[in-house]
Structure 1
């Protein structure tokens, strides 16, 4: 895996070059800041379930999903007005919104070019994935209807924004690694669940961790009024002692003092442990989808992958 990830890293470095030097610099900014390479790693792991794990198409597919993810981060940071990403200044903070948006567009276009090299089916899958990703982002800005459960609405958002691309990572790995259709479908379902759990785990870390640990400004979504798993569970708890927390959540949390108080109350709330239990249960559900695989190193690695997602927020 390490040697294959090194191939992906080298390929990514070549793919972010633009005719405009400032775009190359901006595109390299977040890539060189690190990141977990969660999606390329899943492509490579899923490819091990087939008989063509060393295919060049597997490396290309790993680059496609990572470039798509990186592109979405540049746009997300503009929408969130974020100052930090991966422990470094966000592109919009270091440069401006125009540079961040253009860089995101450039990375999306590069991922599309690479997808075309993988064939017509890959283009269709990528287009469907991108539609779900964008719809998830749109739905995040829309409040749930009066007859809609806020948590269900949010989980639908997460499935689109995060689960869809990670599901495609697993699908691409299985498909271009030569796995059977049965295994491809099982791993796609696994990826969707793991992907959602990954975002929900991030929700918990956003509140529980300091910026030096998470690489992001704590409570960014909270400040922007974006509902997340712990916030929604705290609201649903209906505890008499939560009046002050609910008051703060309904207020303008761009105020630093109110934001800090809300963070403190959330960190102490039982909803944090409830959210962690939910994520662990989702990881168990994902692992159950792996029953189509024979016992062995590949299945164990995929099970461990799900466990890491669940336990990083505990």
Structure 2
């Protein structure tokens, strides 16, 4: 990871000082480096885990992720990201969007260094990521299950890139093809669990814990798993909560009331149980790996995702 950090710093450098400053903004704010870490872990399943291509692949997925954050914050009108001002709040939407574009272009340059297969994988991943982002802005069809629609959004918007992280690690670490397939599926499921954990954190956490403004998704009317589960309730005691969820939550007092009701609602525990079940499903895919430190680390990785508090 130290090598990845050093490489990332070099890759986002621009001849224009302001571009470098804007591109470094969210990277310097921290982050878990979840995706490059998964690349490195997955690479340990093969004989060439220390190759330069593994480091490059780790940078590709993190730059792609960072780019998407700049765009997400514009769409969400978010004021905070990783405990710091979002780029759109510090500068403006134009700077945030163009900085995201700059990071996407840097990611594409690196992907080209990995060869045609990597370019194809990255292009398909980007298609899924954007489709997921677009689906998030659309209402489910009249006969569609809102929860299933949300899970499709999560699979595209988050699961796709984390699946690619695991696939890249296995591919450039030299793992056999059957391990590539198992790890890619593992990555997609873990990625969905990661995003669904964010759904829970949007309601359950405070900004000093998560680095994000609590209730951002609620205020923006973005559906999340606990909200969708609560809306499905037929208990008359939930009428006030459902009324609030159907209304405008721009008012701080109404938002706080909604957060309080949701935090005490059984939907929160139901959502947590679902995330844990997906982590268990992901871990079962690792049975193709021999027992040992690599498999143990990947199992622990899934567990951390399911139970994280930030």
> Structure 2 length as normaliser, TM-score?
0.99
Question: Which residue matches 1:165?
Answer: 161
- Supply the distance in 2 between the matched residues of 1:301 and 1:172 (Cα, whole angstroms): 17
- Supply the distance in 1 between the matched residues of 2:18 and 2:226 (Cα, whole angstroms): 39
Question: Which residue matches 1:178?
Answer: 174
Question: Which residue matches 2:253?
Answer: 257
1:140 aligns with 2:148: no
1:1-314 aligned at under 5 Å gives the runs 5-313=1-309
- Supply the distance in 2 between the matched residues of 1:218 and 1:175 (Cα, whole angstroms): 38
| Cα shift at 1:237 | 2.1
Q: How many residues get paired?
A: 310
Segments of 4+ in structure 1 off by > 4 A?
Answer: none
- Supply the distance in 2 between the matched residues of 1:214 and 1:240 (Cα, whole angstroms): 32
Q: Which runs of 5+ in 1 are unaligned?
A: none
- Supply the distance in 2 between the matched residues of 1:32 and 1:146 (Cα, whole angstroms): 44
- Supply the distance in 1 between the matched residues of 2:89 and 2:308 (Cα, whole angstroms): 28
Cα RMSD of the aligned pairs, angstroms, is: 0.8
Asked if 2 retains the 8 angstrom alpha-carbon contact of 1:204 and 1:230, the reply is yes
Asked if 2 retains the 8 angstrom alpha-carbon contact of 1:202 and 1:313, the reply is no
Q: Which runs of 5+ in 2 are unaligned?
A: none
Asked if 2 retains the 8 angstrom alpha-carbon contact of 1:249 and 1:262, the reply is yes
Residues 121-157 of structure 1, C-alpha deviations (whole Å, 9 max, x = no match): 0000000000000000000000001100000000000
SS at match of 2:49: coil
Residues 26-70 of structure 1, C-alpha deviations (whole Å, 9 max, x = no match): 110100100000000000000000000000000000000000000
- Supply the distance in 1 between the matched residues of 2:270 and 2:235 (Cα, whole angstroms): 14
| Cα shift at 1:313 | 4.4
- Supply the distance in 2 between the matched residues of 1:77 and 1:181 (Cα, whole angstroms): 37
- Supply the distance in 1 between the matched residues of 2:45 and 2:234 (Cα, whole angstroms): 46
Asked if 1 retains the 8 angstrom alpha-carbon contact of 2:45 and 2:175, the reply is yes
- Supply the distance in 2 between the matched residues of 1:40 and 1:216 (Cα, whole angstroms): 22
- Supply the distance in 2 between the matched residues of 1:21 and 1:303 (Cα, whole angstroms): 42
| Cα shift at 1:103 | 0.3
| Cα shift at 1:311 | 1.2
| Cα shift at 1:19 | 2.3
